[in-house]
Amino acid sequence: MSAENSDNRREHKRILVSKATLVKTDNKEFSGRILNISAGGAGICMDVQLVDSTHITVNIENVGMIPAKVVRKMKDGVGVKFEISKEKEKRFIEQITEIVELKRNEEANKIA
């Protein structure tokens, strides 16, 4: 499948970020960095490899702990799918939008 087709099948737009995070499994905690995020999931850079289908929680700044499942292993981390209800998804999208606005403001202040 081409990259174009892969992007077309995405349900939610990804936003590039670089935010520290804490990832928890049933019995361990790992630090990582969220590289991209959408209402449906995130790409997380981590020093450890988690196996596909591992259930985790991801600490997202200004949002809290979000349940997720590992759906893809990457060279330096994992891709996760958030496991939230449709009802919570709307609020989650609003919270992610707020994160994006904060990031834009931070970048604008660096340039000014």
Kindly report, residue by residue over 40-93, the tens digit of the pLDDT.
899 999 999 899 999 999 999 888 999 999 999 999 999 999 999 888 888 888
Q: CA 36 from chain center: how many Å?
A: 6
Element holding 77 (H helix, E strand): strand 77-82
* Domain boundary assignment for the chain: 8-111
To the question of domain 8-111 being in CATH 2.40.10.220, the answer is: yes
CA-based R_g, the chain, Å: 14
> CA nearest 93: which of 40, 43, 57, 44?
40
pLDDT of 20-37, one tens digit each?
999 999 999 999 999 999
